[in-house]
Every structure is written in structure tokens, then in C-alpha cells.
Amino acid sequence: MLQIYNTLSKEKQPFTPIVKNKVGLYVCGITVYDLCHMGHARTYLSFDIVLRYLRHLGFEVKYVRNITDVDDKIIQRAQQNNETPGELTQRTITEMHADFAALNLLKPDVEPRVTTHMPEIITVIERLIDKGYAYQSSTGDVLFKVNAYEGYGKLSKQDLSQLVSGIRVQTTSDKHDPLDFILWKGVKEGEISWASPWGEGRPGWHIECSAMNHKHLGEHFDIHGGGSDLIFPHHENEVAQSCCAYDTPYVNTWMHTGMVQINNEKMSKSLDNFFTLRSVLEKHDAETLRFFLMSAHYRSQLSYSQENIDQARASLERFYTSLRDVKANVDVEMSYGGYLAKFEAAMNDDFNMPVAVAVLFDIVKDLNKLDSNSDEAKDTAGALRHLGKILGILENEPEQFLQGDLSQDLTAQIEALIAKRIQARTDKNWASADAIRDELSALGVILEESKTGTTWRKA
């Protein structure tokens, strides 16, 4: 049975959906003022595999991932660029979709935007005011009364007496309590705004998710996810406002991903080690990056380094090399060879991707021992392909992955040189064969010779 570590309880718990065989999954999306970074890639790749595995188990999953398209950073960046917030966000959303498609992320079933959910946001705030959990300050802001909710701090395990800073809102002079957080910001000159019962303004950061997941998943749903940096204050505030607005448990299971480090240091612009997903994809193929991102358990820290990327590439080359000369049986039974049971045992243990990947390595060991033309080899290769697909890998043709996206002319040149080298070896002209190998090496080609012949891959 699937067990998931719940941030709320701080332990692994058996997963049982609220409605049999159906799962509501909400993941906090990106504030679209710039290109996605490696931290985003790690979080959304992790939940992409969660989504794929839940569907593999037979659950009907409704996946909602929001877009924050109005925010202080968006307004500031648009002003710097001399464009409207709408122009900025539309461009960055297009770039985000391109990056996510390259990484082979499945599209969410619903991708709501803050700017298209103002009526829902206003409705939630009205409920909180009517129930005595929110108030309007003299500055025009509407704030949530933290002390009115007894459960505040239960998700992040924070002590209210120790919480005096760290809230991602600007402090106002007439807060009832320093911890109260903004639900609605009164309009400032020159900023984008919407009409509301409290005057022109725009939503605060936290209220948007409560309103959007309530609309698309209901008042009480199964799984809410995001990066661990969102546990406090964002998700803590979500719990407070949603539970108070609707008198429900809100979310059963909270999942959070670990942070990405750069060479074992925190990724930060101030440390000059901040990488966008786009810049990394320009240096490394997308499948290698995807494999790297699943190389550590989703809750642990992940260190981005050239060494770790190279290791990920080498692992995929090993997989694809084993598949190279085998016609995989796509109709093989999923339970073939007992591999599925081991794979599911790993994934059922809080989506333990590294252990699941180890099962794929076991398959490769078995496959490499077999005659590539045998039915057993074809079935084993089929099992490798099936399990790889659940993780979103091994969906390319081996030659395409190993040889890369080279021009037709360069590929023809390489093939011609290999043919010349084979002839030189046949003629026992070792000097010529070695010279051709050096020439191929200069082109970035690695030769692989076996009893069945010579193949090559891109270095």
C-alpha cells in the first residue's frame, strides 16, 4: 500500500483518498516574473513523477498547478522593463511551458491564474470577515487575525510566541497583531488593481491558493504540494484561512520537496550560483537533467554539480546501450520477471525514486546477459521500457539518445570514417585505424566495439 510522508503529522501514513479511486492534487505554481530556476525544476519534476505513479496505480487524478500572475515582483519587473504586468507574465508563462515541455512534465489538468479568479478570492475574504477572522485596516488592507485561529502553527510546528518576523508582507502600523497577514492590499498609485467591497486593490500572496484550489478541488482535498520553503508562512497561512473559511480539515496530506544546492551550497543570487532551468538545458540534454533531478529522494537536499550531471548521463547511457540491439516487447506483462513488484515496493515507500531506479539497473544487468535476439531479452527490455515510462524516462530511441541531434552531414561523415576504420582494421593497417579513431574522437565520438560490430555514441 502507498505510504506518503505527511508534513502535517511528520510521519509516513497510508494513503487513502477521500473519494475512492480519485485524487485531488494541488501544487503551488510559479510567480511568473522571470525564467524558471533549478529549484522549480526539482519541485515540479518530483510532482510529475508523483502524478505518473498515482495514475499507474489506477487513481483518477485531477492535477491543479496554479500560476501567480500578479505580485509585487511582477509589478516591479514590469515597471523596470517598461511593459505592462500582463505583457510580462504572458511572455514568461510561454517560456515556462517551453521549459516544462522540454523536461517532459505532464501538463496539469487545470492551470488557474490569480488574475482570472478575483471573484473567488473576494468570496473567501468576505467569508473570513463575516466569521470574525479578518478585518480591514485604516490603510485599506484586509488582514487575517492569526490569534483568532487556535490551530495556527500546526503545519510548520511554529511557536507563535517566537514568531515576530519572516512574514512575506509589508508590516502595517494598524495591525491587531504583528503576525496578522494581508488578504487584500489596498491600491497604490500606478499599480494594477481590481474592484472589491473594500475598495480598489489586489490579493495578498496566500489567499490566492485557497481560493483557486477550493474552486477546482473543493473545500477538502487529498494532496497539497510545493517546495519546503513554502511550509512557512505560505502553506501555514493557507491552512489557517481555509480551515476558518470553510470549517474543514482542508488538506489530508502535505508533501514538500527539498531544496537544490549548487556544489553543496545553497542556491542564491547573492552567492552568484543561481541557475535558470533554461541555462542548464542549453548545456545538458533534458533527459539527463530529468534523471539527475530524481537521483535523490524528493524530500532530501539535491546538489547540482557537473560531476552529478555527468553521473546521470552515464547512467542513462548504460540504460540505452542495453536497449540498443534489442527489439523491446511493448506487450510484455507488467509483472514480468518480478521487477514490477520491486519497483512498486520502492515507490509505495513515499515515492522512493532512487530505490526504484536501482530496480531498473537490476533489469539492465539481467538484459546484458541475454542474447539480444531472444524472446527473454525482448521481454526484459519491454519491462525496462515500461518502468522507465512511469518515471518519464527511456522514451527515446537508443540511437537518438546516444548519438544526439547531429546534422545529417556530420552523421554521414562519422559513419564514413567508421567504415574506413573497419576496413583499415581488416587490412591490419593499425596506424591508419588509430588515426581515424583520433579523428572521430576530435569530432566528439566514442566508439564501442563488440563481437557484433562497431557502434558509436556522442561523448
Q: Which residues are annotated as a binding site for Zn(2+)?
A: 28, 209, 234, 238
> Which helix or strand (DSSP H or E) is residue 453 part of?
strand 453-458
CA dist list (Å): 412 to 19, 397, 408, 453 = 57, 19, 6, 18
325-342: buried (b, 16+ CB within 10 Å) or exposed (e) per residue? ebebbeebeeebbebbeb
With contact defined as beta carbons under 8 Å apart, do 57 and 94 qualify?
no
Q: Over 4-30, what HEC string results? A: EEECCCCEEEECCCCECCEEEEEECCC
Helices 72-81 and 85-102 pack at an angle, to 10 degrees, of 110
* CA gap 159, 447 in Å, rounded: 61
The secondary structure of 264-280 as a DSSP string is: TEE--GGGT---BHHHH
DSSP tag of 34: S
Give the annotated binding-site residues for ATP. Answer: 269
Sequence-distant (≥ 6) Cβ neighbours of residue 36 within 8 angstroms: 30, 95, 96, 99, 100, 276, 277, 278
* CA gap 127, 161 in Å, rounded: 27
Strand boundaries in 293-395, DSSP class E: 302-304
User: 362: exposed, middle or buried (C-beta count within 10 Å: 0-12, 13-18, 19+)?
Assistant: middle
Backbone angles phi, psi at 416, to 5 degrees: -65, -40
**Residue 438 Rama label (left phi>0; alpha psi -120 to 50; beta):** alpha
With contact defined as beta carbons under 8 Å apart, do 226 and 235 qualify?
yes
